[in-house]
Amino acid sequence: MAKRPPITNKVRQLREAHGNMSQSALADAIGVTRQTVIAIEQGRYSPSLESAFRISRTFGVGVEDVFGWEG
């Protein structure tokens, strides 16, 4: 089994805090598929730098408020 990336995130918590935004709505806002959002939330996929910025700007927070580094 593949090792998970050492990046943590608060995407799900931020979606819920912003009016229970759906995964589909977030995916549309940042230009990816819903499956990509699911993988990011589950820690199975590390987003590109561009997607990380798009996610943080969607929620009006900094990148480091969304993503962290374990290790």
DSSP 21-70: --HHHHHHHHTS-HHHHHHHHTTS-PPPHHHHHHHHHHHTS-HHHHEEE-
Residue 68 falls within a domain, yes or no?
no
Residue 65 falls within a domain, yes or no?
no
How much is the average pLDDT of 23-36?
98
- The per-residue pLDDT for 11 is 98
Residue 2 falls within a domain, yes or no?
no
Residue 40 falls within a domain, yes or no?
yes
**pLDDT tens readout for residues 36-71:** 999 999 999 999 999 999 999 999 999 999 999 987
pLDDT tier for residue 22 given thresholds of 50, 70 and 90:
very high
- The per-residue pLDDT for 71 is 73
Token digits of residue 63: 């990148």
| Cβ–Cβ < 8 Å for 63, 53 | yes
pLDDT tier for residue 1 given thresholds of 50, 70 and 90:
low
Give the separation between CA 69 and CA 46, rounded to whole angstroms.
11
- Domain CATH for 18: 1.10.260.40
Residue 19 falls within a domain, yes or no?
yes
Burial class (CB in 10 A: 0-12, 13-18, 19+), 12: middle
Give the number of domains in the chain.
1
- The per-residue pLDDT for 70 is 84
- What is the extent of the structural domain holding 26? 7-60
